[in-house]
Structure 1
């Protein structure tokens, strides 16, 4: 969804897709749990199959309680998944005076004069400051053409070729001498968080690195770093 007013352009996931998610997730969750309930009796006949205890427990629940319970549990799990997915969606409010990025009820605001470059790095929207410092790096499924059009409409410096400082990034290795002990420690912790898919920790450590003047991106769970030019 793209909505333009006299002062700004809002880019967000279309309401129809969000409603579809809220409808489909409970249905799919209920269907999955019902399928597992149906399979439980068969699994208990397979002596080689591990974790027999939970399947025997499910198979022992009398009907219709087993069916209603499976459907209800699956629907609730689907609703929780839909809520978390909806909460994680990114929306943009781009205007001539500044831009706001909102996710999970938290908003980052940047004045127009502070933004020196905007581009996509893979599936992430990146805003750089006028001195090459990184202001924001947010993953998003928003249509790239819609996002680009919103920024260009309000005169932001859109870089279609990607990061103008891409060649400045270097592969991080343990104990990189050009970095401080604190930066190396943060990168070490972030590498471990990446390996274990701890997304929230990865984001928090990136924010701490930005405070230390180090900007990081990853490819296939390998970290690349740079500092602001000069």
Structure 2
């Protein structure tokens, strides 16, 4: 960190939790699962996935417990690597903010706000120029962006402009409605990349979209 930039990554407690937590959880599960499975098998009730529970309960010898522990610890390490890849460091500067590998000039950012565990940055036409999952917690992001004079908001400043999408709505032009129809299919298929590409296509037509599960909400872009 310098006087002109602030790098927002994991806090020390979060770094320890994310680095060692999944592996430690895997080790704990290796010890607890066999005993829990044997206890569950003794209950006078039908169990879903009973064959799987029976296999877990049969693990008893030291070498079997060791193999299970090693597998679960490795799974935990993969989870840690996935988290490190998914979550990005945010660097706030006087002239630019960087979200992982994406830099946006300060002059082009007209709004920043949290959306669940994601961070959204809006450009001068209220488009989502950045959507990322930051490593820093929300309070630290808000404090730092405000300190550097960025337009931080606690919620979407255009939330009141959104309308639930329904196919064939008369308030939407056919081209935008067709994009939202294709995007609805992508959301149902969990095709995240396609959904992102269709969002960009919709923005070129002058509309923004917000998701709540598989339900889409749209609004016209607002130029500032």
Q: TM-score range by the shorter chain?
A: 0.7 to 0.9
* Structure 1, gaps ≥5 residues long: none
In the other structure, the counterpart of 1:133 is 127
Q: Does 1:218 align with 2:187?
A: no
Aligned with 2:110: secondary structure? strand
Q: Which residue of 1 aligns with 2:97?
A: 99
Deviation at 1:51, TM superposition (A): 3.1
Q: Which residue of structure 1 lines up, in the alignment, with residue 52 of structure 2? A: 54
Structure 2: distance between partners of 1:203 and 1:12: 25
User: CA 1:158–1:58 in 2, change beyond 3 Å: closer, same or farther?
Assistant: closer
Q: Which one has more relative contact order, counting CA pairs under 8 Å at least 6 apart?
A: 2
TM-score, normalised on structure 2?
0.78
Q: 1:122 to 1:62 in 2, by over 3 A?
A: closer
1:143 to 2:137 alignment: yes
Give distance in 1, aligned partners of 2:120 and 2:61. Answer: 54
- Contact 2:8–2:135 at 8 Å: present in 1 too? no
Q: Please state how far the C-alpha of 1:93 moved relative to its aligned partner.
A: 0.9
How far apart are 1:84 and its partner, in Å? 1.6
Candidates 19, 30, 33, aligned match of 1:36: 33
Number of residues of Structure 1 aligned to a counterpart in Structure 2:
222
Q: Distance in 1 between matches of 2:31 and 2:196?
A: 36
Deviates more, 1:15-24 or 1:194-203: 194-203
User: How many Å apart are 1:174 and its aligned residue?
Assistant: 1.8
Q: What TM-score do you get using the length of structure 1 for normalisation? A: 0.76
| Structure 2 Cα separation of the partners of residues 166 and 63 of structure 1 | 57
**CA 1:38–1:159: 2 relative to 1, 3 Å:** closer
* Structure 2 unaligned blocks of 5 or more: none
* 1:38–1:163 CA distance, 2 compared to 1 (3 A): closer
Check conservation: 2:34, 2:58, Cα contact below 8 A.
no
Structure 2 counterpart of 1:170, from 149, 159, 163 = 163
What is the Cα deviation at residue 144 of structure 1?
A: 3.2
- Distance, in Å, in 2 between the alignment partners of 1:203 and 1:97 is 27
Q: 1:192, CA displacement in angstroms?
A: 5.3
Correspondence for 2:61: 63
Match of 1:88 among 86, 89, 95: 86
What residue in structure 2 maps to residue 73 of structure 1? Answer: 71
The Cα offsets for residues 131-159 of structure 1, whole Å up to 9 and x where unpaired, read as 33331233447333422332233332334
Offset, 1:62: 6.5
- Using the TM superposition, give the Cα deviation of residue 5 of structure 1 relative to its aligned residue in structure 2, in angstroms: 0.8
Q: For 2:152, what is the secondary structure of its paired residue?
A: coil
Give the distance between the partners of 1:32 and 1:181, measured in 2 at CA. 53
Higher mean displacement: 29-38 or 59-68:
59-68
